[in-house]
């Protein structure tokens, strides 16, 4: 039997896996959408770009839906507090995502250039806004979110939407945007050829270098400019969830403490930098499949760095530090986590299997000749 403490750690890791899976699978088609108006210079070129992701973008959404469902079931206090505090930000993500199904399905139904251009920019919004907002959200987690609980564990958010748009959070938004756009550019380079591929490689170079610069700047800022959170009291890691049963203090440099306690975690930021640099170099060498793998490893490194730095905190509170939500005190019951783990062990392999099969079936280059020959069937 797995004990409660171990189950909490397992679900922290599983949520991380789902976030990374979402970034890899849904991230590349968001990155492609971000690049669409700039890499595609004509209607045919833009249709080529859209058709690299059009057949499977909706299947990739399963990672987003599963991640949200996992947070709801495994970390109900996090879900409730985050969605109330980040309400308008989450609505902005949903509004942006609305452009994607309509844009993909209706963009090429009418040949009017104004109609198609409008949906091209709609797909740009649907691809660029969610990564930016997700990055801003992570930036605010490191600074602490202004919320507290009453005696009945009802959360109260005391901040504002505009307060989320602070300098460090915006920098984290740039990290998220550049890494997703790099990932999309590498994927686009792998699925296209000729002038579109060359533009995608140039985009990968630009956004890869921007990512390296922004990731380094965020790390330095986090180390020297932002106080971290530390649990200063005893914690019953295997006990029932009670976020108010601990004491939390803020200390300079605390977000780096885990790298001293577990030195191997330093491999995560190293992987982020190395993966980005490898993606650039491999794409420029026209080794696009390896570049995509390197870009995926970059996503593991960057997202893993955020998780390792925050651990065991999930959602720190700037209003009442003891109300900060952690891996130990924001989870569901032992029974719920156990049932969910069993379901995950059954369905996660199925998701990976059918995703792999779908990409194998749709492998190959998308060309302008293909679009002209399949004018009615292509997106």
The 10s digit of each residue's pLDDT in 299-340 is: 999 999 999 999 999 999 999 999 999 999 999 999 999 999
Q: Which of 99-113, 269-283, 325-339, 351-365 has the highest mean pLDDT?
A: 269-283
Whether omega for the bond prior to residue 22 falls within 30 degrees of 0, making it cis, is no
Could you give the percent of the chain with pLDDT greater than 90? 72
Amino acid 374: pLDDT: 81
Alpha-carbon distance values, 293 to 181, 227, 264, 279 (Å)? 15, 35, 22, 8
Q: Which range has the worst mean pLDDT, 114-118, 200-204, 354-358? A: 354-358
Over residues 282-301, the pLDDT tens digits come to 999 999 999 999 999 999 99
Query: How many whole angstroms separate alpha carbon 363 and alpha carbon 97?
Result: 25
Separation of CA 67 from chain center:
10
Closest CA to 190 of 65, 69, 63, 362: 362
| Encoded tokens for 360 | 């194998």
- Look at residue 168 and tell me whether its pLDDT is greater than 90: yes
∠ CA 74-77-82 to the nearest 5 degrees?
105
Amino acid 314: pLDDT: 96
Mean pLDDT of the chain: 92
Over residues 69-97, the pLDDT tens digits come to 899 999 999 999 988 888 899 999 999 99
Query: How many whole angstroms separate alpha carbon 80 and alpha carbon 174?
Result: 26
Q: Quick one: residue 145, left, alpha or beta (phi over 0 = left, psi -120 to 50 = alpha)?
A: beta
Over residues 132-153, the pLDDT tens digits come to 999 999 999 999 999 999 888 8
Residue at token pair 């890899």: 24
With contact defined as beta carbons under 8 Å apart, do 174 and 276 qualify? no
Query: How many whole angstroms separate alpha carbon 87 and alpha carbon 157?
Result: 10
- Look at residue 200 and tell me whether its pLDDT is greater than 80: yes
Phi, psi of 260 (to 5 degrees): -85, -40
**Per-residue pLDDT averaged across 218-245, rounded?**
89
Amino acid 140: pLDDT: 95
- For the stretch 23-26, contacts whose Cβ atoms lie closer than 8 Å and that sit 24 or more positions apart, written own/partner, are 23/179, 23/180, 23/183, 23/299, 23/303, 24/183, 24/296, 24/299, 25/60, 25/63, 25/355, 26/57, 26/60, 26/61, 26/63, 26/64
Alpha-carbon distance values, 290 to 74, 187, 280 (Å)? 35, 10, 11
Separation of CA 185 from chain center:
16
Amino acid 377: pLDDT: 66
- Look at residue 376 and tell me whether its pLDDT is greater than 70: yes
**In what helix (H) or strand (E) does residue 293 lie, and over which residues does it extend?**
helix 288-310
Query: How many whole angstroms separate alpha carbon 202 and alpha carbon 199?
Result: 5
**Per-residue pLDDT averaged across 200-227, rounded?**
96
User: What is the band of 23 on the pLDDT scale with cuts at 50, 70, 90?
Assistant: very high
Residue at token pair 């939390």: 248
With contact defined as beta carbons under 8 Å apart, do 81 and 315 qualify? yes
**Per-residue pLDDT averaged across 234-262, rounded?**
88
What's this model's pTM, rounded to 2 decimal places? 0.94
**Per-residue pLDDT averaged across 244-270, rounded?**
93
Beta bridge partners, 326, equal 313
């Amino acid at each position: 039997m797995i004990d409660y403490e171990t189950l909490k750690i397992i679900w922290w890791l599983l949520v991380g896996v789902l976030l990374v899976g979402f970034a890899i699978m849904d991230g590349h088609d968001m990155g492609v959408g971000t690049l669409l108006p700039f890499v595609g210079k004509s209607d045919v070129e833009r249709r080529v770009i859209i058709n690299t992701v059009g057949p499977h973008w909706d299947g990739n959404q399963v990672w987003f839906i599963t991640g949200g469902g996992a947070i709801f079931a495994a970390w109900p206090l996090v879900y409730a507090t985050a969605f109330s505090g980040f309400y308008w930000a989450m609505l902005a993500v949903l509004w942006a995502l609305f452009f994607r199904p309509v844009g993909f399905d209706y963009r090429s139904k009418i040949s009017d250039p104004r109609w198609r251009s409008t949906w091209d920019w709609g797909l740009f919004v649907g691809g660029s806004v969610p990564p930016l907002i997700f990055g801003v959200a992570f930036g605010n987690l490191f600074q602490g979110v202004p919320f507290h609980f009453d005696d009945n564990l009802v959360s109260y958010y005391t901040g504002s939407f505009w307060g989320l748009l602070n300098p460090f959070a915006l920098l984290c938004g740039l990290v998220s945007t550049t890494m997703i756009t790099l990932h999309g550019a590498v994927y686009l380079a792998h699925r296209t050829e000729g002038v579109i591929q060359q533009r995608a490689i140039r985009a990968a170079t630009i956004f890869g270098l921007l990512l390296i610069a922004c990731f380094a700047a965020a790390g330095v800022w986090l180390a020297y400019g932002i106080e971290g959170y530390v649990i200063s009291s005893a914690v019953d890691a295997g006990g029932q969830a009670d976020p108010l049963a601990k004491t939390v203090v803020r200390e300079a440099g605390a977000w780096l403490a885990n790298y001293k306690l577990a030195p191997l975690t330093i491999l995560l930021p190293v992987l982020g930098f190395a993966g980005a640099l490898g993606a650039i170099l491999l794409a420029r060498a026209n080794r696009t499949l390896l570049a995509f793998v390197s870009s995926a490893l970059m996503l593991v490194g960057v997202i893993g760095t955020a998780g390792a730095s925050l651990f065991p905190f999930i959602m720190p509170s700037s209003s009442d530090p003891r109300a900060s939500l952690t891996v130990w005190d924001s989870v569901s019951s032992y029974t719920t986590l156990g049932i969910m783990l069993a379901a995950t062990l059954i369905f996660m392999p199925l998701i990976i299997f059918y995703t792999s099969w779908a990409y194998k079936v749709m492998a190959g280059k998308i060309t302008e000749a293909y679009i002209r020959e399949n004018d009615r069937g292509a997106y």
